[in-house]
Homo-oligomer: A and B are copies of this chain.
């Protein structure tokens, strides 16, 4: 049976859990499969994620919830259906390969609608998996013109989420604004260390003993959006910058996959540039 997912966040007050479970249990007799709550204590903000099954009228349920919850509540009622996603890439294959393989074997809770890239080097790979590939070259185009072309390509598919699977072009605030909390990036570094380009060269130069990767939503500033997942591996002086990059690639693809699992299963809230995650 299809699971429904209810995501609620609002200023905290007494009785919120009682009120929500009252509607789900008392009025609709829905079967709660999993339930989690969290109160952020700096701002006293309440988060609740409930997975349930059963029959109900969507509009009526929402109205009932709005009636008992604070005025400025944010409610999302979604379900476990596969989400439509579009992947952007440039030349590096490792994140794209990993996602295409997972998609092929039905391990990603998503329909990969297409791949968009500013190079054609990953076209052959993409076509092996019978996914449309759009080569939108930036050669000869202004940044704005290229971005507009990429945006138009994406919008044909109307995806719920867009994934930057090692897409190496900086995106403008205008572009990003189309996909608030829906644009996931993998940053080849353990943010906030080594923001920007060539993090592995920076890491080598600095002689760090651990490197890592960060998956995050892109909401405005480069590399500054809400962090979804991070992971690290040890390195040492025997690693050249190139070997750090090689080692880093495995971390990058694992962290991106993990973050997508959380996002696609609707386990992630964004609040004040941070994520609240129900695992």
- Which A residues form the contact surface with B (CB < 8 A)? 14-15, 17-18, 21-22, 25-26, 29, 31-42, 93-94, 97-98, 101, 104-105, 107, 125, 128-129, 190-194, 206-210, 212, 226-232, 234, 236-238, 240, 246, 250, 254, 257, 273-277, 279
Contacts and interface: CB of A to CB of B under 8 A. Distances in A.
Contacts of A257: 250
B209 A230 contact: yes
B210 A190 contact: yes
A232 B231 CA distance: 10
7 contacts: A22-B22, A38-B238, A192-B193, A206-B227, A206-B273, A210-B230, A237-B275
B18 A26 contact: yes
Given A26-B18, A208-B227, A101 B105 contact: no
A238 B226 CA distance: 15
A190 B125 CA distance: 33
Contacts of A18: 18, 21-22, 25-26
Contact of A17 (B21, B42, B190, B276): B21
Contacts of A228: 209
Nearest to A224: B206
Given A93-B105, A128-B129, 8 more contacts: A15-B25, A18-B25, A36-B37, A40-B237, A107-B246, A190-B210, A209-B229, A250-B254
A103 to B, nearest CB: 11
Contacts of A98: 101
A105 to B, nearest CB: 6
Given A26-B18, A105-B93, A209-B227, A279 B192 contact: no
Contacts of A15: 21, 25-26
- 9 tightest A-B CB contacts, nearest first: A207-B274, A18-B21, A193-B193, A209-B230, A15-B25, A128-B128, A97-B101, A237-B276, A18-B25
Contacts of A210: 190, 212, 230-232
